[in-house]
Structure 1
Amino acid sequence: MNTLEKISVLEAFAEGKITSLGVNSNGVKFVSTDCYFLARELHQLEKIVIKISKSDQVLFGITADWKKQKYFLKPIGLGKNLLNELKINMDGINLHFPMHQMNPYIDLFLQELNKNTSMDPFEMERWATEEVINQRVSQLNEFVEKLRITTRSKEFCNLINNFQRSSNKNFQEGLKYIKALFTLHSRLLILRIDLGYAKSLDLLYEPDSTINHSLVRLHREKLLRYLKAQFPTVGFIWKLEYGLEKGFHYHLIVFLRGSRVQQDVNIAKKIGEQWNVITERKGVYYNCNASKSKYKYCGIGMINHHEEHLLHGLKKALLYITKVDYYVKCLLPDKGKTFGKGNMPQEPTSTVGRPRTKKGT
């Protein structure tokens, strides 16, 4: 086979790869780079800022090689971690997250770092005169104190509480929705499909102006209508994300009536192929159901209401597609939604039917 099947960064996500090379259905080569490594950097940064905010230790001092009359910066405790965080890829963050709101801890750090453009961590690790090293020590300790004063303020605490509450909302709504579906259906066939758009090599590091949010929303609406018309669909959850290299892309979870369908891999493939039809062959997709063995916690395929281990995997999948918002929230230009689900199912008034003999969700 001379060409690869449709491969995108969405597949790279599932396989833990950094980059992926492929050819779309029109034979156009494209490369997608996994920018989630930047999100992981931001996660690490948030943890360090939180630890610093809770400590009172002086993080930087001075040490010397008296024989050679050389002086060095001496990081203490969390100071070592902070020096590493000062090396964060600012250009990459600005490039990959062009329309995002950062977690308040991360945002504060980046703002303060932008105010201290002369604070070069690579330069600070080099030896210098005693006077220069003392200046570096003062600058870094003042930077740390600014972080502590701000993060301990009432205003910042309120900001963090609001941000966390907002970030957790989608996950909690999704859990409630899943529980309601299993209340009505003892067995569901669950599909997970990642949907995106191929990008040619010449547009890899540029926004694709032909794929805007209005078009992406239209494509999603058409796909959801297809799901309802072609399959015994009882529910769905979708999450829209945006990155420079991937552009707009969806994570989609589909819930089908388990008493009527079984072949999850084939159905997910049909949905992916329909996405390519809807997008006029510009789309790419990844069929997660075809790779169930790769997941430590598998929450897709056929799931009965009493199979707690599979339900746990499903919750993990939901957490995966919603947790990114805790670090970087996509802000659409038209204030559009980035998360959605089907209507909350209503419990039937009649209880006629086969009683459940095992504990449900």
Structure 2
Amino acid sequence: MSDTMAQTFVLSRSSYKHSSKNEDLIIGNEFQILEDIQSATELAVDLATDNEEHFNLKYLSSNWGYKVECTPRGLRIKGHLGTDWNKIKNSYPNIVLNPALNILTDKFIEEATNPFFPLSHINFNRVPIEMAKEACRRLNSIGQYVYQQLNNGEQKEAMANFRRTAMQNFDSCADQVAALLGKHAKLLVIRLDLYATSSLDNLPDKLVELCINKFIEQLRLSRIVPNVLDYICKREFGFKRDIHYHLIIFMDGDIHQQDITFAGILGQKWLDICKKHGQGLVGTYYNCNQHKDKYMRSGIGLVHYADHQKILGLRKAIAYITKPDFFIRYVADNGTRNLRKGIHPYLKKSTQRGAPRKYTKKEETTRLILTTRDDSQAEALAN
């Protein structure tokens, strides 16, 4: 159970976490929005691997009391004690934290509301004698509770379900893009992030959904930019940006090359739709193509099926907008899905009889780079 959780976490984080040494991991400007959630999830996953005590007391003197010493994992527990997880959960009723994080934060909330004293108020360098043993017991109980909860059958199944959804999203989108590249040697790939703000305390979900529906309808019919072959649209939730949308749009690369211009036209259309139909919503957008030169492997702009470095970058873009569901998931009141795709007739599985199509070596490598779940395997194939 813990191995599966750890593998899933690494797979998800590698596509979402900012890395100053490897800027090709950054596709968009939302890479830090779930930093606390990612860090706490990683902690929960690690705590589930053993049942060790991570805190102990060192006696100083009768006047100074005790000092609380901790292992590296204990230090990470300490770092999350001050986060107001109760406020986060109560303020955003439409978000669902992954089961590992949910268990850990429930324990943090319990300790934060303890009538004796909140653990976040402890001075680890000087704990009074009368509360030292109780403080150490409660600190150790956090890791022990997470270990016990995440290693029972019910929570294993809950984690498997969360993992399954995130991986299925990646698989379906990767297969979709592989099918496109099997039909078109060159794609013009546009990455766009769409946001909306409101003067109201809470962003009106229904109005945002109305606007994105109108945008997608016009996009699908090629009324905003021409020759749209397909698209992927992912609704996401961020504590700073609330509901927003990540899009990857595919145009015919044999006909068009002006990706920055088209991305700007698409962004402006989002602003116009929000102004016309949003009843006070103000739309904003981030044009990823305008900044693609910052990244070693952007995977956006003009992408040829045989350019495996760009294909690797495109895979990272797909992973970026699908795998963060492992950490946090937005659940709409109307039950609409977070991921939507435009499947054109020629991309549907053929019902005709006969032998399956044979791929060239380069085409097969391209397909494998896109569709493998293993980051290191994708890197090896691209190189």
Q: TM-score range by the shorter chain?
A: 0.7 to 0.9
1:122-161 superposed matches below 5 A: 122-125=121-124, 127-161=126-160
Note if 1:269 corresponds to 2:264: yes
1:15-50 Cα distance to aligned partner (Å, 9 max, x none): 99xxxxxxxxxxxxxxxxx88645111111111122
Aligned mates of 1:127, 1:171 — CA distance in 2: 49
Specify which of 50, 59, 70 is matched with residue 45 of structure 2: 50
Aligned mates of 1:241, 1:340 — CA distance in 2: 12
Name the stretch that deviates more: 40-49 or 238-247: 238-247
Show structure 1 runs of 5+ residues with no match: 1-12, 17-33, 350-354
Match of 1:170 in 2: 169
CA contact (8 A) 1:124 1:136 kept: no
Aligned mates of 1:298, 1:121 — CA distance in 2: 42
Shift of 1:91: 5.9
Aligned mates of 2:309, 2:167 — CA distance in 1: 22
AA partner of residue 164 (structure 1): R
Shift of 1:177: 0.3
Aligned mates of 1:217, 1:173 — CA distance in 2: 21
SS in 1 for 2:275: coil
Note if 1:40 corresponds to 2:43: no
CA contact (8 A) 1:73 1:125 kept: yes
Shift of 1:87: 2.2
Aligned mates of 1:142, 1:285 — CA distance in 2: 45
- Relative to structure 1, the CA distance from residue 335 to residue 219 in structure 2 (aligned partners, 3 Å threshold; closer, same or farther) is same
1:200-239 superposed matches below 5 A: 203=200, 206-209=201-204, 212-227=207-222, 230-239=225-234
Match of 1:83 in 2: 78
Note if 1:189 corresponds to 2:184: no
CA contact (8 A) 2:228 2:249 kept: yes
Shift of 1:230: 4.4
- Relative to structure 1, the CA distance from residue 262 to residue 150 in structure 2 (aligned partners, 3 Å threshold; closer, same or farther) is same
- Relative to structure 1, the CA distance from residue 213 to residue 196 in structure 2 (aligned partners, 3 Å threshold; closer, same or farther) is closer
CA contact (8 A) 1:189 1:261 kept: yes
Match of 1:359 in 2: 362
Shift of 1:298: 0.9
- Relative to structure 1, the CA distance from residue 143 to residue 91 in structure 2 (aligned partners, 3 Å threshold; closer, same or farther) is closer
1:120-146 Cα distance to aligned partner (Å, 9 max, x none): 223252523323101111222223222
Aligned mates of 1:357, 1:145 — CA distance in 2: 53
Match of 1:22 in 2: none
Aligned mates of 1:15, 1:272 — CA distance in 2: 24
SS in 2 for 1:223: helix
Normalized per residue, which structure has more helix?
Answer: 2
- Relative to structure 1, the CA distance from residue 93 to residue 37 in structure 2 (aligned partners, 3 Å threshold; closer, same or farther) is farther
- Relative to structure 1, the CA distance from residue 304 to residue 35 in structure 2 (aligned partners, 3 Å threshold; closer, same or farther) is closer
Aligned mates of 1:212, 1:242 — CA distance in 2: 15
Aligned mates of 1:210, 1:135 — CA distance in 2: 45
- Relative to structure 1, the CA distance from residue 315 to residue 65 in structure 2 (aligned partners, 3 Å threshold; closer, same or farther) is same
Match of 1:308 in 2: 308
1:230-289 Cα distance to aligned partner (Å, 9 max, x none): 411111111112345434321111111111112111111112222222222632222211
CA contact (8 A) 1:188 1:302 kept: yes
Shift of 1:64: 1.5
Aligned residues: 325
- Relative to structure 1, the CA distance from residue 227 to residue 244 in structure 2 (aligned partners, 3 Å threshold; closer, same or farther) is farther
Show structure 2 runs of 5+ residues with no match: 1-15, 20-28, 277-281, 353-357, 367-383
CA contact (8 A) 2:230 2:249 kept: yes
SS in 1 for 2:51: coil
Aligned mates of 1:14, 1:59 — CA distance in 2: 27
1:287-302 superposed matches below 5 A: 287-302=287-302
Aligned mates of 1:35, 1:115 — CA distance in 2: 31
- Relative to structure 1, the CA distance from residue 124 to residue 157 in structure 2 (aligned partners, 3 Å threshold; closer, same or farther) is farther
TM-score normalised according to structure 1 size? 0.80
AA partner of residue 55 (structure 2): F
Aligned mates of 2:240, 2:127 — CA distance in 1: 41
AA partner of residue 296 (structure 1): M
Match of 1:320 in 2: 320
SS in 2 for 1:359: helix
Match of 2:381 in 1: none
Shift of 1:102: 0.4
1:337-352 superposed matches below 5 A: 337-343=337-343, 345-346=347-348
1:27-78 Cα distance to aligned partner (Å, 9 max, x none): xxxxxxx886451111111111222221232222211113745222222342
1:166-201 Cα distance to aligned partner (Å, 9 max, x none): 12211111000000100111111111111122445x
Aligned mates of 1:37, 1:78 — CA distance in 2: 22
Computed over aligned residues only, the root mean square deviation of the Cα atoms, in angstroms, reads 3.1
Q: Quick one: percent identity of the two aligned structures?
A: 24
Note if 1:179 corresponds to 2:181: no
Aligned mates of 2:329, 2:308 — CA distance in 1: 31
TM-score normalised according to structure 2 size? 0.76
SS in 2 for 1:194: strand
Aligned mates of 1:14, 1:50 — CA distance in 2: 17
AA partner of residue 362 (structure 2): K
Shift of 1:358: 7.0
CA contact (8 A) 1:188 1:255 kept: yes
